[in-house]
Each structure stands twice: as C-alpha cells, then as structure tokens.
C-alpha cells in the first residue's frame, strides 16, 4: 500500500533537477532509526546515473554511485566507519556481505538522527547498470525493513508533475521550500538551513493546531489551494502554502515576487 511519505518522496524526486541547488535536500524521517527506508526510497527513485551524497551531522557522509534504482558503488565515506573496505568496490547483485556492510555504513551515518542531507550530481561517464549493483528492493529484503517502492496512480503522477512545474517556474524567486503533508511529521525541503528550519517549525505548529488542514484540504466546497501569510509587519519574506492532492508545499518567498508565484500556481496546478 502506498504511503503519503512515499508520494512525497517521489514528488521531490520529480522536482529535484536543479531545484535543490548545491545545498541539497533534507530528508526527514518520523523519528530516530526510521531513516533507512527513506534512504532506500531515495535510491529506488534514482533512475538516471547520479552520484548521491548522503550527509549527516559531525561531517559524516557517504557518497554513492546510483542508477536504475541500484547502488553500484560506495565512492567515498567521511567520518563513517568502513571496516569491510566497501569503498571503491563494485557491488555485485546478491552479495550478502556487501548488503550487511552497506546497512552498517548507513546506520553509522544516521546514528541517532532523524534527518540526512541528500545531494545529487549528474554522472557524466557511462554507467551501464541495468542489472549490476544492489537494488533498493533487494536491500530492503535483506535488511528486513518496510521499504515501499513508489507506485503512483495517474492522478498522483499528475499532482507530482504539477508540483514539479510549479517549483521549476519559481525556483529563481523562492528562498526555501518544504514539502510535507497535513498529518505527517515527515518532510523534505531545500534552501538555506535556517529558512528550511523556520518553515519546518511553522508547518509543525500548523499541524499540531489543525490549521494545516483547515480551509485547505478539508473544505466541504472547493478548498483553498494557494495561501499566502505575512507574519510580522517587517517580515521580508512571506510564507506561501500550496496544496496539491493532499500534499502541502511551504515556500518562503520575497513579497515582491508574489505575482510571479501566483501566476506559476495558476499555470501549473490543475483546478
């Protein structure tokens, strides 16, 4: 069964090209120890050749080559123990030892944290990996974790495309964005860390008070799907909340750019 978190991940994947910027995107899990399925989803949804960097606190990072939903290689680790010497080795399908080592690597990376920064870079050289490497699904099975492969309905694909189009059209004027749901603590975002944190705190406050749904996703008649809030008379940025098919997108935007953002919403998001 699909989960809203899976949908959100997939939507972010759809929106990831160029949106996240050099700073990357923050993947947040529901709590400590819940990051492995999110990392597997990230791998599963990476279809084109990418170098994927997963970074956590204390300068810990793991750099992977990923394509076609499969991890081909661990390119580098920093601040993370690699006792089995996985770094630089090409991963072979079904290699149980490599799967266990990779799990230990990710667990060491995540530690007690519930979030990890993800950066993706296009790999120029040809990676032919239709069957090579370790697929996210095989890793999930070996690790006995509840990874849910993305499997979207046509309507969800349309919603994802709408968000993708909207983010592409506004990326020059959006300071930061955060994607979440009205009833989940899981979220992903991009932009300066303090701006993303501020959006996260606001989204959580709205979820706790029930405002995240009010007038937006639970309206009896047509819901309001675009909301701008200016909080504080001197605030330079306003908060824009866009609702698409139950997904909430929080954006921090300079007030002078509201016209462009509103036009992008009208164009991208189906009525």
Q: Which residues bind another protein (CB under 8 A)?
A: 202, 205-206, 208-209, 211, 214-215, 222-233, 238, 256, 258-259, 262, 265-266, 271
Strands (E), 68-154: 70-78, 115-122, 134-135
Residues 6+ positions from 106 with CB-CB distance below 8 Å:
35, 36, 39, 54, 62
CB 146, min distance to another protein, A:
32
CB 169, min distance to another protein, A:
16
- Looking at residue 90, the DSSP 8-state letter turns out to be B
CB 12, min distance to another protein, A:
24
CB 271, min distance to another protein, A:
4
For 147-205, give the secondary structure using H, E and C: CCCCCCCHHHHHHHHHHHHHHHHHCCCEEEEEEECCCCCCEEEECCHHHHHHHHHHHHH
CB 219, min distance to another protein, A:
9
Closer of 141 and 266 to another protein (Cβ): 266
CB 256, min distance to another protein, A:
8
Find where tokens 């701008």 sit. 228
CA distance 46 to 78: 22
Residue pair 6/150 in contact (Cβ under 8 Å)? The answer is: yes
Residues 6+ positions from 212 with CB-CB distance below 8 Å:
182, 183, 203, 206, 248
CB 217, min distance to another protein, A:
12
CA distance 203 to 184: 10
Closer of 103 and 260 to another protein (Cβ): 260
CA distance 261 to 246: 20
CB 235, min distance to another protein, A:
8
Closer of 4 and 226 to another protein (Cβ): 226
Which of 151, 199, 159 shows the shortest CA–CA distance to 25?
A: 199
Residue pair 108/81 in contact (Cβ under 8 Å)? The answer is: yes
Distance between the two ends of the chain, CA-based, in angstroms? 27
């Amino acid at each position: 069964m699909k989960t809203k978190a899976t949908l959100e991940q997939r939507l972010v994947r759809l929106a990831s090209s160029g949106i996240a910027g050099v700073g990357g995107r923050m993947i947040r899990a529901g709590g400590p120890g819940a990051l492995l399925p999110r990392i597997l989803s990230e791998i599963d949804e990476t279809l084109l050749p990418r170098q994927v960097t997963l970074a956590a606190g204390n300068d810990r990072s793991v750099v992977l080559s990923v394509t076609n939903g499969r991890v081909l290689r661990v390119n580098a680790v920093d601040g993370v123990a690699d006792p089995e010497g996985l770094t630089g080795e090409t991963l072979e399908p079904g290699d149980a030892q490599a799967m266990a080592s990779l799990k230990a690597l990710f667990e060491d990376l995540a530690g007690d944290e519930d979030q990890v920064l993800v950066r993706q870079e296009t790999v120029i050289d040809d990676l032919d990996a239709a069957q090579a490497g370790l697929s996210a699904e095989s890793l999930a099975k070996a690790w006995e974790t509840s990874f849910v492969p993305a499997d979207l309905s046509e309507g969800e694909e349309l919603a994802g495309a709408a968000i993708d189009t909207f983010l592409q059209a506004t990326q020059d004027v959006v300071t930061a964005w955060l994607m979440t749901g009205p009833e989940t603590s899981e979220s992903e975002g991009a932009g300066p860390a303090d701006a993303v944190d501020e959006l996260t705190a606001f989204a959580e406050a709205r979820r706790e008070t029930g405002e995240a749904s009010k007038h937006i996703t639970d309206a009896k008649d047509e819901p309001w799907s675009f909301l701008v809030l200016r909080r504080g008379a001197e605030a330079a940025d306003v908060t824009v909340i866009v609702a698409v098919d139950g997904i909430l997108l929080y954006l921090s935007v300079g007030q002078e750019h509201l016209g462009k953002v509103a036009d992008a919403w009208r164009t991208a998001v189906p009525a």
